[in-house]
Amino acid sequence: MVAPAKRSRPGPRRALSEDEILDAALSLLDEGGQIAASVRGIAARVGVAPNAVYTYFPDKASVFKALVERLLGKVDHGVFADREQPWRQRVESLALELRALLAAHPGRVTLMIGGPMDGPHALALNERLLELLGDAGLDPADAARGAYLLIVYVFGSMALEVADVATAGPLPPESERIALRRSTFAATPADQYPRSAAAAEVIADYISTEHYIWGLHRLLDAIAGRKAEHPHNEE
């Protein structure tokens, strides 16, 4: 008579942390976008069953929201919270820092515009921005409108910049991307699109830091003009 096989006892459950899950989600997001960063994909990347991920996050949306919060938590508030510095310089510092953070992990750009930014770090960032625009002389209502315009500009600019690149992962060097765009737009048929052909060099530079700052300055001019034209917020 053959003795029954002994059941092997399961080994100890692998220790897991929220940071490990987010690290895995971010790497998958960089490699293959939101589809790749599924709960199953995350679990496989860290070597656990999907249920282990659900212990920390109820669904993929909550993972993505945590990734947004993590990025916003890296913003150095000292860069733009110094109330002794000119307000425009503070806005520019913030805009450049956000651009750099998003360029390093462009997959998070779609997360920024794909759901509500209402976590603690997002609210803290908005609070600082409202304070900054209040220091510029805007009343609370116009400061809120101005803060929204700035957020739309920063994330919208980055979304278009990321969409211009076919590969996943960190964005290639700016010079390489501009050179590729120049070769593409140089072929614009001048007989069909004369204005576009004439502006090909400028269009190629749309994704440059210089153009990003140019647009930001025009936006800040408009915000400052709102204060000058309506000092008492008269409608």
* Residue ranges, CATH 1.10.10, the chain: 17-58
Per-residue tens of pLDDT for the chain, all 235 residues: 555 555 544 444 556 899 999 999 999 988 888 888 999 999 999 999 999 999 999 999 999 999 999 999 998 888 788 888 899 999 999 999 999 988 888 888 888 888 788 899 999 999 999 999 999 999 999 999 999 999 999 999 999 998 888 666 778 899 999 999 999 999 999 999 999 999 999 999 999 999 999 999 999 999 888 665 555 544 4
pLDDT for the residue 233 = 47
Distance of CA 117 to the CA centre of its chain: 11
The CA distance from 114 to 156, in Å, is 12
* Residue ranges, CATH 1.10.357.10, the chain: 69-229
Q: Do 106 and 171 touch, CB atoms closer than 8 A?
A: yes
Class of residue 189 by CB neighbours under 10 A (exposed 0-12, middle 13-18, buried 19+): exposed
Q: Give CATH for domain 69-229.
A: 1.10.357.10
pLDDT for the residue 7 = 52
The CA distance from 212 to 30, in Å, is 23
The CA distance from 202 to 206, in Å, is 7
Residue among 123, 100, 115, 128 at smallest CA distance from 60: 115
Share in percent of the chain as helix, strand, coil (round to 5): 70, 0, 30
Please give the model's pTM, rounded to 2 decimal places.
Answer: 0.81
pLDDT for the residue 131 = 92
In order of 151, 157, 171, 174, 227, the CA distances from 214 in angstroms are 16, 12, 21, 16, 21
Torsion angle of alpha carbons 60, 65, 66, 69, nearest 10°? 170
DSSP line for 61-85: HHHHHHHHHHHHHTS-HHHH--TTS
pLDDT for the residue 168 = 65
The CA distance from 19 to 84, in Å, is 36
pLDDT for the residue 164 = 85
Which residues make Cβ contacts (< 8 Å) with residue 109, sequence separation at least 6? 102, 155, 158, 159, 162
Residue among 170, 172, 174 at smallest CA distance from 26: 170
The three-class DSSP label of residue 27 is helix
Which of the four CATH numbers 3.40.50, 2.60.40, 1.10.287, 1.10.10 does domain 17-58 have? 1.10.10
